[in-house]
Amino acid sequence: MAHQIVIVLDFGGQYNQLIARRVRECGVYCEVRSYKTPLSEIKALSPSGIIFTGGPASVYLESSPTISEEIFGLGVPVLGICYGCQLMAHLLGGKVTCAPASEYGKTETYYDRSGVLFGAVNGLPEKAVTWMSHTDYIEKAPEGFRVTAHTECCPTAAMECPEKKLYGVQFHPEVNHTEMGSDIINSFVKNICGCTGDWTMKGYAQTAIASIREKVGDGKVLLALSGGVDSSVAAALLAKAVGSQLTCIFVDHGFMRKNEGDEVEAAFKDSGMNFIRVNAKEQFMEKLRGVSDPETKRKAIGEEFIRVFEREAKKIGKVDFLVQGTIYPDVIESGTGDAAVIKSHHNVGGLPDYVDFKEIIEPLRMLFKDEVRALGRELGLADVLVDRQPFPGPGLAIRIIGEITDEKLLILQDADYIFREEIAKAGLDKDIHQYFAVLTNMRSVGVMGDGRTYDYTLALRAVTTTDFMTADFARIPYEVLEIASSRIVNEVKYINRVVYDVTTKPPATIEWE
């Protein structure tokens, strides 16, 4: 079934896939493409709308990302966001220059609600907070454009030319900090592009299953099953698509949380799927011996994962395809197009150059975490799997700062178990989207039993988020933190200090490494 589609053209911003997520929330299918995509390919997709993303460059520099002006003559509505808005203005004869004052973060913005884009947003006030992030600004809008929003520092916070179906906003409506930002995007895709909202997880599942069957044929499939949400949903999807042709291999690298390897095995061994557990801690520890750099850790773990799968594949006969539960945030943070690499995920940037499979299948690659959960429910997965909090593929290896040792693993497993137990006892486990402990490489002086200690500092991390692209630290009651801290320093050897991370994402990431 063909769906209406909105194309997001990526100009190098770090959180551009959030735009796609907001479009999908409107029930409209959306794909992200590079700004370098040939115009002929864009036309062949017959998009109902096109959105230009933000980006770090200045549009007036020769080296900056740009696009052919022909795109504005396709008759397809275009919405430019931040850099995309400036690019539209620059290409069409407006003036973009370095702003006398940069705007970052929450900014009061004044709307002209008589415009087409904002006029269709029910309840939009004349003044509201938007999220800005720019050093350049549109000093003069192109001829034929009307300015529809401004701030104290930015004369053109939004502009539009309805006759040419061109719209632009200097702020970022895709982030949660922009009040009614999702409503503004909904106004563009529904009222301006005329999209009806015909894309659902049920439809996605049907399309994905059909696509997998066509690709796999009668071939054998190996799935990297970690027991987390992403790989569990991928397993359910593949099981429906190819049945007994699928073998799920759970590689226990030794970096799981306390008792978790056994829990994963218990959840899947009687599921009807072909399930194999491989205990590979010794191999992974050998690969990481003497390694402290987090990027080196991730890449080493990614490569060893593949090598283990290759060895297991040979044991069960010729396997044509490897399936991974890679999702959009993994891809974004590993660097795509002109976007910067934040950290290489073991299943993306950590993959080796050569992989001994016909092809790697990633059926969740275009989905965000909340969409993956919705797909899991559509496929009939149990809530205990669908609602499981995220756990990184490299596991505790990237929650131990510095070199990994058996001693450090035991320390962190015990401390993390206590923290998670106290969060659950306090009834906060449903409200906090991710919470865990990090063993730092810092030691400090302490006092226990009237004696001096010189032991590790443990960091606790807990965040609330809807998309895992941005996150806020969880406001855990002091009494809960006090109980967790007291238990950890009294029950776990070699820890004498506990700290709580109160940093948002950005500027930090959720994980420490």
- Which residues are the active-site residues? 82, 172, 174
Residues 108 and 487: their CA atoms lie apart, in Å, by: 45
Residues 485 and 497: their CA atoms lie apart, in Å, by: 8
Please, are residues 316 and 225 in contact by the beta-carbon 8 Å criterion?
no
Please, are residues 313 and 219 in contact by the beta-carbon 8 Å criterion?
no
Residues 261 and 137: their CA atoms lie apart, in Å, by: 53
Tokens standing for 283? 């191999």
First-to-last C-alpha distance (Å) of the chain: 42
- DSSP codes joined into one string, 202-231: HHHHHHHHHHHHHHHTT--EEEE--SSHHH
Please, are residues 297 and 349 in contact by the beta-carbon 8 Å criterion?
no
Name, in order, each residue with C-beta under 8 angstroms of 470's C-beta and a sequence gap of 6 or more: 15, 18, 175, 176, 504, 505, 506
**Percent of the chain as helix, strand, coil, to the nearest 5:** 35, 25, 40
Place of tokens 């970096």: 255
DSSP annotation of 287: H
Residues 169 and 183: their CA atoms lie apart, in Å, by: 14
User: 51-89 in b/e burial notation, b at 16+ Cβ within 10 A?
Assistant: bbbbbbbbbeeeebbbbeeebbeeebbbbbbbbbbbbbb
Name, in order, each residue with C-beta under 8 angstroms of 485's C-beta and a sequence gap of 6 or more: 460, 498
Residues 51 and 80: their CA atoms lie apart, in Å, by: 6
Tally of CB atoms within 10 A around 410: 14
Question: In degrees rounded to 5, what are phi and psi of residue 139?
Answer: -75, -35
- DSSP codes joined into one string, 470-495: SBEE----HHHHHHHHHHHHHHSTTE
Find residue 9's DSSP bridge partners: 33, 52
Please, are residues 28 and 50 in contact by the beta-carbon 8 Å criterion?
no
Residues 90 and 55: their CA atoms lie apart, in Å, by: 15
Checking DSSP bridges between strand 359-361 and strand 158-161, what pairing results, if any?
unpaired
Amino acid at 23: V
